[in-house]
Chain A
Amino acid sequence: MNIIVIGFGFIGRGVIEAFLRKAERIRRLDEDFRVVGVSDSRGYVYDSEGLDLKRLIGVDELSQYPSGYCRGGSAEDLIEMEGVDLMVEATPTNVVDGEPGLTFMRRALRRGIHVVTSNKGPLVVAFHELKSLAEEGGCQLLFEGTVAGAIPIFSLVRESLQGDEILRISGILNGTTNYILSRMHFEGTSFEIALKEAQERGITERDPSYDVDGIDAACKVVILANALMNRDVRFEDVERTGIRRVTQEAVSLAKRSNFAIKLVGTIDRRIEVAPKLVPINHPLCVHGTLNAVHIEADLAGEITLVGYGAGRETVSAVLNDVLTVLKSEAKKKG
């Protein structure tokens, strides 16, 4: 299979590194696995015979790759190249209009190219449209990395709860706010100081409101509701309250009655993101930058998954999606 990677940042690079590290496992599924193109906002490198991944990982800028660099070339050109089978899309998240990722995904899916992404934006803006494009194009659209990082929530439901109906989902879906609230809970820190600490540790978005006002968590709620509960939910449908008003006093009062205050996303009768009281012995009550997703299924009952919601662990989710496509293509070929 011929792969293109759009976005050569933290995730794009990490995925290429993972391709290299797991080369043997990949070859077992597909002897002809090749990364033929990689792009960022300034240009792309392309080689129809497959790029040298070791070299690629070594460069600071795509333009330093020894051959095939096209300055000013766009990801759309790569998508149009002959013989591309799968696109890994890892450009920045934009929840207003989903761009640039949305255009890339539409194009790819229309051409029958499988899409694996960690970018929430396009899915928040146009989930059902992209899903039907994938269906029409006879290709897969996989997005495990978009919600709760390395936690395999979509794979779990797709593979292991095939007969179940998901009745309710709740989750701690933003590691930054969970870090802040955990500092307040355990160290008695104020919100402002805990936020500053998170910023110093580099775990906040440039615009902290994305985390602390629950925007990021709300995006994840939208994707979960659409993907796992077959709802038709848009960002505006999520009732959203962030954690700015959560005071140290509130955290202490909660703690004294054996609750922790957590920013929880819920898909139920109401669809909301809000600070909630989580009993300290509840499986959702995880601390630090951990995420947790709690689902209630009609047959399986309650299941909770806990893991890292962002950072390098996310690469695991993207790689697994790529392997899932390779596997099903290998099966098709017999």
Chain B
Amino acid sequence: MKFDLTIALADRPGQLIRALEPIAKNGGNIVSIIHEREEPSAGLVPVSLVVDFPSALNLRRTVDELRRMGIGIIRAEEIIDTSRLTVILIGKMDLKRLANAGVENIRIVGFEVSNPASDDACLRVELEVPTASVEEALDAFKRIAEEEGALLLSPI
């Protein structure tokens, strides 16, 4: 699991190395570091890390240790991988039902409709879906389409 861990470090040599220790100790694998030295405020520099931890528990332990060391935590949250998904629906369909399909973090990023008023109304929807939930989302869309009497065309 990847996490965005953004911390506030004192603008002094050696601070970053110090902060990395608890991450390594808790099984974190650092994917990237952005050190924004141009923007110190009150002597603190924000450092954004992308860290791969085995679980959220490892992140929590790391955060606790960093706090104990007096390092401020700006953000500590999971980064959700999203995938672009295109589906086509044939038949009348309420777009809102897709967005509220019961799968978290789905975003509609585009759509195109033709013949909206007719029975073979046709709707193309582009969505951003958490990669891990793609199958779940497609199952939910299929169920909704069936309920509405529409036909769902999903990508292979």
Contacts and interface: CB of A to CB of B under 8 A. Distances in A.
B63 interface: no
B90 A245 contact: yes
Given A257-B86, A269-B135, A277-B86, A249 B153 contact: no
Given A277-B86, A277-B87, A277-B88, A250 B122 contact: yes
Contact of B156 (A254, A256, A276): A276
Query: Which of B90, B112, B135, B154 has the most chain A CB within a 10 Å cutoff?
Result: B90
Query: Which of A253, A276, A282 has the most chain B CB within a 10 Å cutoff?
Result: A253
A279 B114 contact: no
Contacts of B122: 247, 249-250, 253
Interface string A145-173: 00000000000000000000000001000
A274 B87 CA distance: 13
Nearest to B110: A257
B155 interface: yes
Interface string B120-149: 101110100000000100000000000000
Contact of B120 (A241, A249, A264, A279): A249
Looking at chain B's contact residues, the main secondary structure is: strand
Interface string A226-257: 00000000000000010001110110111011
A179 B126 CA distance: 28
B131 to A, nearest CB: 16
B115 interface: yes
Query: Which of B115, B151, B153 has the most chain A CB within a 10 Å cutoff?
Result: B153
Given A247-B90, A250-B90, A269-B135, A277 B153 contact: yes
A259 B88 CA distance: 10
Looking at chain A's contact residues, the main secondary structure is: mixed
A241 B156 contact: no
B135 A276 contact: no
B88 A170 contact: no
Contacts of A284: 156
Contacts of A241: 151
Query: Which of A261, A264, A276 has the most chain B CB within a 10 Å cutoff?
Result: A276
B120 A247 contact: yes
B153 A275 contact: yes
B88 A253 contact: yes
Nearest to B151: A245
Contacts of A264: 156
B114 A278 contact: no
A266 interface: yes
Contacts of A257: 86, 124, 126
A277 B114 contact: no
Interface string A252-291: 1110110101001010010000111111001010000000
B112 A253 contact: yes
A246 B90 contact: yes
Given A253-B112, A253-B114, A277 B151 contact: no
B156 A278 contact: yes
Given A250-B88, A250-B122, A257-B124, A276 B114 contact: no
A256 B112 contact: yes
A276 B155 contact: yes
B120 to A, nearest CB: 5
Interface in B62-94: 86-88, 90-91
B84 to A, nearest CB: 10
Contacts of A254: 88, 124, 153
A276 B115 contact: no
Contacts of B86: 257, 259, 277
Contacts of B112: 253, 256
Given A247-B90, A253-B112, A276-B155, 10 more contacts: A245-B151, A249-B114, A249-B115, A250-B153, A254-B124, A257-B126, A261-B88, A277-B155, A277-B156, A282-B156
Which 3 A-B residue pairs are closest in the complex by CB-CB distance? A249-B122, A253-B124, A277-B155
19 contacts: A170-B156, A245-B90, A246-B90, A246-B151, A246-B153, A247-B90, A247-B122, A252-B114, A253-B88, A254-B88, A254-B153, A257-B126, A264-B156, A266-B156, A269-B135, A274-B153, A276-B155, A277-B155, A277-B156
Interface of B: 86-88, 90-91, 112, 114-115, 120, 122-124, 126, 135, 151, 153-156
